Amino acid sequence: MITRKINFLKYRYVCFIASILFFAAGFITYFVKGGFTYHIDFVGGAEIRANFSKPLKPVDLRNALSSKGWVDYSLQSIGSSGKEYFVRVSGKIDDLEAKFSSDVKSEFPDNKMVVENIDFVGAEVGKDMQWNAFISVLLALLILLGYISIRMKYAYAIGAVVAIIHDMLAVLVFLLFFNVPISVNILAAILAILGYSLNDTIVIFSRIRENLKKNSDGSPIGLINTSLNQTMTRTLLTSFSTLLAVGSFFVLGGETLRGFSFATMIGILVGTYSSIYIASPIMMAFGGLARKSQKAKN
């Protein structure tokens, strides 16, 4: 028996305005900062694998590189010994190995370092990856739009796709705010968010359709609010349990998983919000319930 009777749609216009203001802030930030920050996967650069004779703290290596003028880089400790590191550097640097070795050895003269390997990613390859990433996300959206249109109705598909686009843009805005570089891992997180947000939305839409069959003469707002209340426990439990798992990656996963887990956590929170306050109101605005109700009457 459902006891809660929260009027979710009462706040739909407030949420629409809040989302618009949020995206406006992101739009301004985009131009103020000159666009997104990209990982070497997309702009080209190099990945250096270095081995030290003694354990070295990541913060010490980071401070050493920064003091030598290294700016567009990230580093990751390999294993638990503190002796091996991946250092990723954006852009093209002449005599990279020599400069890196010289700068690091001057800061840690008593800790012998050996550069074991350097992998380069060209700028053209990075541009190709940007384009491929855009195409993959666009195709995913089109496939989802077609699937939901066939599975349910076009109005439901519009609501789901608008919510997904909302979630992706929201994650990108947060990446701008926190200066998180866009990498292949971030792209994987965005694609994962597509599936997560869609799953949550489909569960709510399915419950709306079930309630509509039982009471086709009910008001659209009442049907949606009832359905949202009925699925709220499932939505919150799923979001909370997923956040716990992804949060552990963020805290314990190291530099490699930090961007992925950060984007995923934001996506889970925003996806829960959009499933309630974006997808269902948009579906209702496109007449999904009105047309269904009329068909049931006939």
Q: For the segment 134-162, what is each residue's pLDDT rounded down to a tens digit?
A: 787 788 778 877 777 777 778 888 888 89
**CATH 3.30.70.3400 segments of the chain:** 45-121
Output the pLDDT for position 233.
86
Q: 113: which DSSP letter?
A: E
- Give per-residue pLDDT as tens, 78-128: 777 788 888 888 767 778 888 888 888 888 888 888 888 887 766 566 667
* Percent of the chain whose pLDDT exceeds 90: 14
- Tokens (6 digits) for 194: 């597509």
CB 8 within 8 A of CB 277: yes
Taking residue 10's Cβ as centre, other Cβ atoms within 10 Å add up to: 10
CATH of domain 8-37+125-297: 1.20.1640.10
Q: Is the pLDDT of residue 246 over 80?
A: yes
Closest by Cα among 139, 129, 119, 150 to 38:
129
Q: Is the pLDDT of residue 2 over 60?
A: no
**CATH 1.20.1640.10 segments of the chain:** 8-37+125-297
Please provide the average confidence, as pLDDT, over all residues in the chain: 82
Residues 6+ apart with CB under 8 A from 80: none
CB 118 within 8 A of CB 46: yes
Closest by Cα among 183, 187, 188, 184 to 72:
183
Question: Where residue 273 falls among pLDDT bands split at 50, 70, 90?
Answer: very high
CATH of domain 45-121: 3.30.70.3400
Q: How far apart are CA 91 and CA 44, in angstroms?
A: 6
- Tokens (6 digits) for 51: 């081995």
**What SS3 class is residue 78?**
strand
Question: How much is the pTM?
Answer: 0.75
Closest by Cα among 252, 263, 255, 262 to 75:
255
Q: Tally the residues of the chain.
A: 298
What DSSP string runs through 238-292?
HHHHHHHHHHHHHHHSHHHHHHHHHHHHHHHHHHHHHIIIIIHHHHHHTTHHHHH
